[in-house]
Structure 1
């Protein structure tokens, strides 16, 4: 059984970002980076797993005799995390297979002293080319986070990339979307600060 992340006591909170698409930097990954930047501005250490990394994770096999270096890195990093931000494109009305596969890999933490994402704040971001997939994908992500015992933040960002575009420099032309993403980073940081004060 692995230890919890109690070694973070007295150190800066650590938030992990998970998101993107296969085949290069996407609007999803750029949106995730904006939310993570907002968390970092609040004194939080961050690390992102973007599409290029997530695409290298093999399909999760629960009883595999060994794990790849990427699988081990991903699970061990999430084990150290105090919070998460998850960003997925809306594919056919739900979470992309690549993001779901990464979250399925967290089954490796089922026997940890901190099971899955127990007690962790989790910010959610969804991008889609049109509005139809955004709501159902956010709902699916919330259900997954609940099943993993995490706490979805009150704010989730639904981004219609046909109307709100991201530049190659990572910025979004829509200030309302930038504000939404910043609020997600802020809420994850707020949760961690409140938790530390009550501990």
Structure 2
């Protein structure tokens, strides 16, 4: 299965990106093809018009999501919502790329959990005709620590990500068969 992950932080070493990379590793271990679009490295222009679709970074983003069977969106929670970089990236996408595809949401917040950003992502996914995975991943506060191997320092966070990824992959496979 082809999976695209859009990591929505523009900050180097962001915990939301680390959580996405850890999830990507679990998916790859199970034989899935993962394309990681890290918005820290894959800079996009500010969305303003259809003229921007000629920009190579926008073209590659659209193509990656179009070709994917399932999608993961990862964001830091800023002021109770998703990052501006992720929202900007999503503005370049539409139902053409998301229609009937399962989407797993990941959030990292300075507080206990990033529920607001996850709810905002679910609203956006519905509006582009994606299918929200009933599971989501939220890491917050001290749970945002990752070891040098890329694994969450907290065993509880590792288990949570393993569980959510397993559920996401199983559901995505079921949806592909239908």
TM-score normalised by length of structure 2: 0.91
CA offsets, 1:127-168, max 9 Å, x none?
011126x11111101101111111111111111133441134
Distance 1:197 1:97, change over 3 A: same
Partner of 1:61: 48
SS in 1 for 2:50: coil
Q: How many residues align?
A: 178
State the distance in 2 between where 1:38 and 1:19 align: 16
Q: Which segment drifts farther, 174-183 or 96-105?
A: 174-183
Q: CA deviation at 1:169?
A: 2.9
Alpha-carbon RMSD: 1.8
TM-score, with structure 1 as normaliser? 0.82
Q: Distance in 1 between matches of 2:55 and 2:176?
A: 34
1:150 and 2:113 are equivalent in the alignment? no
For the Cα contact (< 8 Å) 2:53–2:59, is it kept in 1? no
Tell which structure's C-alpha radius of gyration is larger. 1
**Equivalent of residue 41 in structure 1, options 29, 35, 60:** 29
Whether contact under 8 Å (2:98, 2:128) holds in the other structure is yes
Residue in 2 aligned with 1:3?
A: none
Q: CA separation in 2, counterparts of 1:23 and 1:65?
A: 23
**Aligned mate of 2:104, from 111, 114, 123:** 123
1:9 matched residue in structure 2: none
State the distance in 1 between where 2:177 and 2:52 align. Answer: 42
Structure 1 regions of 5+ residues with no counterpart? 1-12
Report the equivalent of 2:7.
19
Q: CA deviation at 1:69?
A: 1.0
Aligned equivalents of 2:100, 2:53: Cα separation in 1: 28
What is the CA–CA distance in structure 2 between the aligned matches of 1:21 and 1:93, rounded to whole Å?
A: 15
Counterpart check, 1:190 vs 2:170: yes
CA distance in structure 1 between the partners assigned to 2:128 and 2:106 by the alignment: 17
Distance 1:153 1:58 in 2: 29
- Structure 2 stretches lacking a partner, 5+ long: none
